[in-house]
Amino acid sequence: MKFDLVIVAGGSSSRAGENKLRFNIGNQSVLERTINAFFAVENIQKIILVVREDDMDFAKEIVDGFYAPHRFEIVLGGETRSKSVYNGLLKATAEGVLIHDGARPYVDCDLIERVMLSVERYGSGIPALPLADSVRVVEDDNIVDEANRDKLYRVQTPQGFKLNELLSCYANGKEYTDESLLYSTYVAPARIVEGSERNVKLTTAGDLTSLSSRVGIGYDLHKLALFRKLVLGGIEIAYDYGCVAHSDGDVVIHALIDAILSAIGERDIGTLFPDDDPKYLDIDSTLLLTEVMELCTRKNYRIKSASVIIVLQKPRIGDYIPIMRVKLANIMGIKSADVAISAKTNEGVGDIGEGKAVAAYASVQVY
């Protein structure tokens, strides 16, 4: 089934005190980050942005930055959320439609695909999470009753439906807080799918100033042997000794990969790229890092910064470090200034100090 996407970005941001969709997360605005989460999802054919009149130029500038601006339409929002969604739906033509809040920039591909699959099977898909806290009914600042939290869920977006069924619900002209309630009232009980704790909606100024980020650490070590290539940070180092490894033995990239996988909640490099798999024999580790970055994109994470310490008794590698920073930054999609690399000896201690091994420690921040 093909889908069109309606991104609702026409709110006033009154609780945030500023236009939250323009707020920068790293080097992207909130709205651009939200669009990016959907842009590469298979079966989404059109992206419809519903914005305020004074955000039209801002939205057009974002759209022009994508390599396929023809996939977008920009629509003027209405006085309410319902009217804004309806304006967007009128531009949709696919069999299915997704409605998403522009201020939910951390949605990931797995969640989007769960919603789409639910629409195909059941006619609707609503991401939701059960409540963890106890719930009470309060009147005049007093608790007057309890509520059964087992039946209460936090509803998120994107919410998915068949376009014609959702459009038919707007004939009554009533206002609803979201499309799941509208659909449940006039078509059928909406079907929930598992939501995501990370898929938060940015609402207040506090949300904007405390955007979640995660940190991961990684480590790698390889023995050195004569007549092997020494590759560090994607750069071949002129030296008689190189790493003994199934791949090219690039400890810098291997440590970075483990740090990234740790930060985004995945298993380690050995699980993702087993060292007994023939297809990874002598492989260029930059290809492995590129694959990990594709996984990051799918989960809607971006690298904010990376730091690496290389521990090697010899040779001196200071002259190579600027080239490493540029190479790694290009693969990770960040500025070279956000990649820190330092080199240390092991003061003659242990296998590293005796020139028998090389190691690297890495940390990354993702958001």
Q: Which residues lie below 8 Å from residue 289, measured CB to CB, with a gap of 6+?
A: 234, 253, 256, 257, 328, 331, 332
Confidence (pLDDT) at 204: 66
pLDDT at 169 over 50: yes
Percent of the chain residues topping a pLDDT of 70 = 95
Between the two ends of the chain, the Cα-to-Cα distance in Å is 31
pLDDT tens for 89-118 read: 999 999 999 999 999 999 999 999 999 999
DSSP type of residue 305: E
Q: Which residue has the higher pLDDT, 52 or 10?
A: 52
Q: Which residue has the tokens 């242990």?
A: 350
Give the confidence band of 273 by pLDDT, cuts at 50, 70, 90. Answer: very high
Predicted local distance difference test score (pLDDT) of residue 6: 98
pLDDT at 205: 57
Computed over every residue of the chain, the mean pLDDT equals: 92
**Mean pLDDT lowest for which of 3-12, 120-129, 134-143, 271-280?**
3-12
Q: What is the pLDDT of residue 150?
A: 86
Backbone angles phi, psi at 208, to 5 degrees: -70, -30
List, in order, residues 6 or more apart from 174 with CB less than 8 Å away: 82
Residues 288, 332 contacting (CB under 8 angstroms): no
What tokens were used for 6? 């309606």
Question: Which pLDDT score, from 0 to 100, does residue 40 have?
Answer: 83
What would the mean pLDDT of 228-247 be, rounded to a whole number?
96
The reported pLDDT for the residue numbered 15 is 43
On the question of pLDDT at 28 being above 90, the answer is: no
Q: pLDDT tens digit string along 338-358?
A: 999 999 999 999 999 999 999
Q: What pLDDT does 17 receive?
A: 45
| CB of 170 closer than 8 Å to CB of 86 | yes
The yes-or-no verdict on residue 250 having pLDDT over 80 is: yes
Q: What is the identity of the amino acid at 272?
A: L
Q: How confident is the model at residue 367 (pLDDT cuts 50, 70, 90)?
A: confident
Q: Which domains does the chain have, with CATH numbers?
A: 3-209 (3.90.550.10), 214-366 (3.30.1330.50)
Residue 45 has pLDDT above 80, yes or no: yes
pLDDT band at 24 (very low <50, low <70, confident <90, very high): confident
Q: At what angle do helices 251-263 and 321-332 cross, to 10 degrees?
A: 40
Give the pLDDT score at 295: 95
3-state class (DSSP) for residue 199: coil
How many whole angstroms separate alpha carbon 340 and alpha carbon 324? 10
**pLDDT number for residue 177:** 86
pTM (2 d.p.): 0.78
Q: Is the pLDDT of residue 16 over 50?
A: no
What token pair was written down for 277?
Answer: 């798999």
Each residue's pLDDT tens digit, 198-223: 999 987 655 554 556 789 999 999 99
Enter the tokens of residue 288.
């492995």
